Amino acid sequence: MRSSLKSALLVSVLALVVGVACSNKVASRPTKPVPVGTVLFRFTRKVQGPVELTLDGVRIPVEPLKKGKKAQSLVLTGITTGKHRFFLYSPRDAFGPDQGEFEATGTQGLYLVTFAQSFNAVLYGQAEALPPAAGVPGVKARLE
């Protein structure tokens, strides 16, 4: 009797774990190939923005979506080959990982799944406006 109870418990826990793992709607691989020189940050949940991006210590301007729309991904184009460090920030969303390193190759683009959670960092009043981002020549970022 005890072993059948343990078996039933194990099967139910396994079914729960598989169900949770399969419920994630974000693909671990892109549906279309990512072009060379492009990095696609795919968020696990739609983000409201604004999103700030720092690449190799330089803030990159991020093109926002229309007011009221939410973005499923952040697309970087014009990335040169080599290792790059990034940092993602938003007053309304939390990311994981919010910083890290990726290596761009000349053969294919990169697809990075990034955990996103709704998070309002500004409790009272308005968020402090940042000065315009300087950017890197040739590198563009946009929310999609």
Residue 16 has pLDDT above 50, yes or no: no
Residue 105, φ and ψ in degrees, nearest 5: -110, 165
Q: Is residue 51 classed as helix, strand or coil in its secondary structure?
A: coil
Residue 123, φ and ψ in degrees, nearest 5: -80, -40
Q: What is the mean pLDDT of residues 136-142?
A: 92
Taking residue 114's Cβ as centre, other Cβ atoms within 10 Å add up to: 20
Residue 17 has pLDDT above 90, yes or no: no
Q: Which of 60, 48, 117, 115 is nearest to 85 (CA)?
A: 60
pLDDT attached to residue 49: 82
3 vs 95 pLDDT, higher one: 95
Q: Is residue 80 classed as helix, strand or coil in its secondary structure?
A: coil
Place of tokens 């079914």: 15
pLDDT attached to residue 19: 47
Q: Yes or no: say if 141 and 59 are a contact pair by the CB < 8 Å rule.
A: no
Residue 9 has pLDDT above 60, yes or no: no
106 vs 7 pLDDT, higher one: 106
26-143 folds as: Immunoglobulin-like (2.60.40)
Q: What is the mean pLDDT of residues 114-138?
A: 81
* Chain segment 33-88, per-residue pLDDT in tens: 999 999 999 999 999 888 999 999 999 999 988 888 999 999 999 999 999 999 99
Residue 117 has pLDDT above 60, yes or no: yes
Name the burial class of residue 86, with classes exposed (0-12), middle (13-18) and buried (19+) by CB atoms within 10 angstroms of its CB: buried
Alpha-carbon gap, residue 122 to 108, rounded angstroms: 38
Q: Yes or no: say if 93 and 116 are a contact pair by the CB < 8 Å rule.
A: yes
